[in-house]
Structure 1
């Protein structure tokens, strides 16, 4: 068997393991959203979200793009790995100290004194994540998908148990702080235990420039991405207070659930595999096209239906107290559709080493996202979400074009994949929403059931009439054989 076929087999098995593991993690995270929304008041979520929206930027700085640099490198010596470990660990400890000292300033910015202690406890996670970063990179680089999946399930599961226990004991927002600390401790201890290596002292003779340049470019792009993706929570918290911030945060997390739970494992499989295939143009393009189609036809229908049935979904998942956030959620679901359609551009940038082009794209586009959200904030929480949705829609074709120009890849097929998925699933979701409006069952759970049934029926009808869509859906069902197949 050729080495390429062996890599395809590993990718197929890795994709199945990663998606299965992420499905389990999705269940845990969905349970966290549902259960904690009923145990804690919106302001509790708002307090923690207001802190994390700012301190999370430190997590981007702490990462410095070094993990992705290690994963995508064609070769990585033990000495380089050791040096990357000490760089990540040192940055993590440094940022823990900076965030700890910045706690009074963060509390003062929001004019919420309780945020000071929350910030100091959250600061601990930077040091923990810095220590574990290169262990995770090694596991991903070695395509050890099972170990990665087990760790990523164990952390959130134990974190949820701690949060529920503390919430039942009346701990309020401290339950959410305890959840974050537990996840960080469990995940990073797990990474170190299964990493399979022990860091030695730093090595002066190792060539680190290419890794650091790759990471620095990626850091710039990720910093701009983070700022543009979290300015909404900061604005809602600063202008409308912790209760509104909590509502916005919960519906935003609900929207992100299908995106993160499917894109993250897809990235963990795609980046190391595409990085190894980048010298083999036909196989690289074949994997890219098929991987994008599978991801889109898993994420887009969920977001389309969720946005179309936002009312009954919010009532069932979060409870009646969260219904004021329905319009906000609908707008965010639209943003999620186009955000998911843009992910393949990041695969191209990172796997081909074009992080400089990725940074230049971010320099052009991410300030526009920030401006759109700031303008939208004058119309409250819904305006913020609409501004975010408009900007994500505009960024989708631009990011694909930019990635194609930088890498020399014809993005026409990738654009067609995404457009076909969005049109098909949004149309089916619209039919589902119309059916629910006409029938209107006595309970929101019945409305959701009707909506799912009608959407599946509509999608089946579309597939019968639309050959390209039918081929895409066959590809999702036969993902293993697609990953193993050789391009013509």
Structure 2
């Protein structure tokens, strides 16, 4: 019993330090992505973004099919042999090649759907990324299984950084939407070649006799859920592009990406830390629950204040980040930011589904909820971009508590504390953000920078007042800050031996 506790403590330290490395790397990447949004929005017109967004909204579904859930299956597996890993590599690569060819051939259909001939050539170039992503998929899974968070972070920063450089250079030479295509291709090349170089293994030939059924089954169920998630999450861009044209699609895409920026940049590293750690703690329910609650708290108290303030001060934020030309998208961004609050609150349900291997239940949940989102967005499209955003936001608000209940029911994990954590985080940050927006509106500062500065100050003071008066919120924030204690801990020799013994028997590659 004592061995398990010490091993778990050592795992806690590695998870916390890995989380800081992953989040720090993702923050650096978010700065690059934010720079891309700010710079490219001023170099290119909305229609350039619209063309690429319309293509990616359709072809991106191929990326979900290409992945087939196999990377997540490799990370989640308690034990993965070298033969299984090699087979997964060739399966991912084969799917990448197959889909690249299929999308290349289907390019005229994409252009015909939107009635935009220029999209045919864009689609064919985007198709190249599927081969590259297929080659690097299992290399990334290998790095994540080994908890090599720093390596993963460096690669994920280098790709977008070089992609931005290429896009800016092309945009300055008048390349228009081709600058964005060049950005996509550069990122795919740099990231996947980097993953293959640092993964530390060379895939062998496919092997017979390896137990692949469970891995493929896990991936197949995850594929179904992710497919529904992708369609429901991108139907809005498709509708805007097909009904309102490339300029409107470009505006919608930019404000949607701006909303997703804090979510993606923090949820992705959180998932990379949470999935392998929680998967190894499945048998220790108490430790599992502790990691789950703490991880959720850290994620939400980083993401929600950013989204709450950005949505409340949408006008100044849009003018500062994108420029005055994008002001017509302010109302859409406000609604999407609200949706983002509840989307972030629901991510913990995915952690439970995937770390416990309940991807079948995740698929069932998607089968019930995602078609409802598609209907809500289609109905909302009658009122233009804002109506589409409202349909998306209503879906996120409804699905959040439902996802927690569903995940708790199938896993046996108590979710009441997770619901309470998220609700306090949403209310605790949203209320001072709304007050900040009211104060800014009352004062009416002369510049958007002054408006944003006043809003940040008012929100901080409001949050400070809440912390003084609201005991449970104070405890939540204190627990988030206590994560630093894990960062200072270093497992001793016996802890290290326990870690290696447990990992070799359950968590690493074995022949």
TM-score interval, normalised by the smaller of the two chains: over 0.9
TM-score by length of 1: 0.98
2:136 corresponds to 1:132: yes
Over residues 179-211 of structure 1, what are the superposed CA-to-partner deviations in whole Å (9 max), with x where a residue is unaligned?
000000000010001000000000101000000
Q: 1:475 offset after TM fit, Å?
A: 2.3
2:333 corresponds to 1:311: no
Alignment: residue pair count: 486
Q: 1:68 offset after TM fit, Å?
A: 0.2
Runs (4+) of structure 1 exceeding 4 A deviation are: 482-485
Partner of 2:191: 187
2:254 to 250, 253, 260: 250
1:396 to 382, 396, 400: 400
Over residues 18-59 of structure 1, what are the superposed CA-to-partner deviations in whole Å (9 max), with x where a residue is unaligned?
011011001000000000000000000000000000000000
Q: 1:484 offset after TM fit, Å?
A: 8.8
- Provide the C-alpha distance between the structure 2 equivalents of 1:268 and 1:446, rounded to a whole number of angstroms: 37
Structure 1 contact 8–484 (Cα < 8 Å) conserved: no
Q: 1:290 offset after TM fit, Å?
A: 0.7
2:79 corresponds to 1:85: no
1:452 to 450, 456, 463: 456
Of 464-473 and 246-255, deviating more is 464-473
- Provide the C-alpha distance between the structure 2 equivalents of 1:450 and 1:480, rounded to a whole number of angstroms: 30
- Provide the C-alpha distance between the structure 1 equivalents of 2:336 and 2:139, rounded to a whole number of angstroms: 34
Change in Cα spacing, 1:482 to 1:474, as seen in structure 2 (3 Å) is farther
2:172 corresponds to 1:168: yes
- Provide the C-alpha distance between the structure 1 equivalents of 2:279 and 2:339, rounded to a whole number of angstroms: 29
Cα RMSD for the two superposed structures = 1.1
Partner of 2:269: 265
Unpaired segments of 5 or more residues in structure 2?
490-511
Higher relative contact order (CA 8 A, sep 6+): 2
- Provide the C-alpha distance between the structure 2 equivalents of 1:17 and 1:317, rounded to a whole number of angstroms: 27
Partner of 1:237: 241
2:206 to 172, 185, 202: 202
- Provide the C-alpha distance between the structure 1 equivalents of 2:34 and 2:400, rounded to a whole number of angstroms: 27
Structure 2 contact 17–487 (Cα < 8 Å) conserved: no
Over residues 396-447 of structure 1, what are the superposed CA-to-partner deviations in whole Å (9 max), with x where a residue is unaligned?
0100000000101111000000000001111010111011011111100100
Structure 1 contact 14–145 (Cα < 8 Å) conserved: yes
Structure 2 contact 339–392 (Cα < 8 Å) conserved: yes
Partner of 1:102: 106
Partner of 2:346: 342
Structure 2 contact 97–130 (Cα < 8 Å) conserved: yes
- Provide the C-alpha distance between the structure 2 equivalents of 1:472 and 1:482, rounded to a whole number of angstroms: 17
- Provide the C-alpha distance between the structure 1 equivalents of 2:236 and 2:482, rounded to a whole number of angstroms: 39
- Provide the C-alpha distance between the structure 2 equivalents of 1:417 and 1:30, rounded to a whole number of angstroms: 29
Partner of 1:25: 29
Unpaired segments of 5 or more residues in structure 1?
none
Structure 2 contact 263–303 (Cα < 8 Å) conserved: yes
- Provide the C-alpha distance between the structure 1 equivalents of 2:479 and 2:50, rounded to a whole number of angstroms: 41
- Provide the C-alpha distance between the structure 2 equivalents of 1:253 and 1:422, rounded to a whole number of angstroms: 21
Structure 1 residue matching 2:205: 3-state secondary structure: coil
Over residues 361-418 of structure 1, what are the superposed CA-to-partner deviations in whole Å (9 max), with x where a residue is unaligned?
0000000000000000010011000010001100001000000001011110000000
2:73 corresponds to 1:69: yes
- Provide the C-alpha distance between the structure 2 equivalents of 1:483 and 1:218, rounded to a whole number of angstroms: 33
- Provide the C-alpha distance between the structure 2 equivalents of 1:449 and 1:385, rounded to a whole number of angstroms: 27
- Provide the C-alpha distance between the structure 2 equivalents of 1:443 and 1:484, rounded to a whole number of angstroms: 43
Structure 2 residue matching 1:131: 3-state secondary structure: helix
Partner of 2:232: 228
Q: 1:481 offset after TM fit, Å?
A: 2.5
- Provide the C-alpha distance between the structure 1 equivalents of 2:273 and 2:414, rounded to a whole number of angstroms: 22
Partner of 2:124: 120
Partner of 2:497: none
Q: 1:483 offset after TM fit, Å?
A: 7.9
TM-score by length of 2: 0.94
- Provide the C-alpha distance between the structure 2 equivalents of 1:249 and 1:469, rounded to a whole number of angstroms: 34
- Provide the C-alpha distance between the structure 2 equivalents of 1:435 and 1:13, rounded to a whole number of angstroms: 39
Partner of 2:19: 15
